[in-house]
Amino acid sequence: DLMSSCFMDRNKCTRAESEARLGSQLPISSKITYADIAIDNSGSYSGLEDQVRLCLNRLERMVGRTWVVSWLFPPFGLLSVAWTLLVRIVLHTKQTGEMGPRNGR
């Protein structure tokens, strides 16, 4: 299929290798549960533009102007990233009742 062909071209591998690697990945439906924001690009171009605008507005509301402080004072940015990751790990652990990825994923 098209995805396998693109993968083969990009990674310079055989069809069997590309299908094995693509087949070993989690399905998109499982990956979406880990995403904060997901954009579906299977529709029209104008629909995609609308989704991107909504996504940017949501991110702007979530972050506010802290990005300016992070840019001017890099240690704040690093602390902000560490705090965000810690909170997400804790929330994910509470939601799923498990620690870390399973089965090497």
pLDDT tens-digit map of 38-92: 899 889 999 999 999 999 888 888 877 777 777 777 787 788 889 999 999 998 8
Indicate the number of domains in the chain.
2
Report how far residue 93's alpha carbon sits from residue 34's, in angstroms, rounded to the nearest whole number: 12
Same domain, 48 and 91: no
Same domain, 72 and 58: no
Same domain, 7 and 44: yes
Give the residue from 19, 40, 18 showing the smallest Cα distance to 29. 40
Asked if residue 105 is part of any domain, the answer here is: no
Report how far residue 70's alpha carbon sits from residue 81's, in angstroms, rounded to the nearest whole number: 10
Q: Contact at 8 Å (CB) between 22 and 5?
A: no
Instruction: State the pTM of this model.
Output: 0.45
Same domain, 41 and 23: yes
Give the residue from 9, 8, 28 showing the smallest Cα distance to 18. 8
Residues spanned by the domain of 20: 1-63
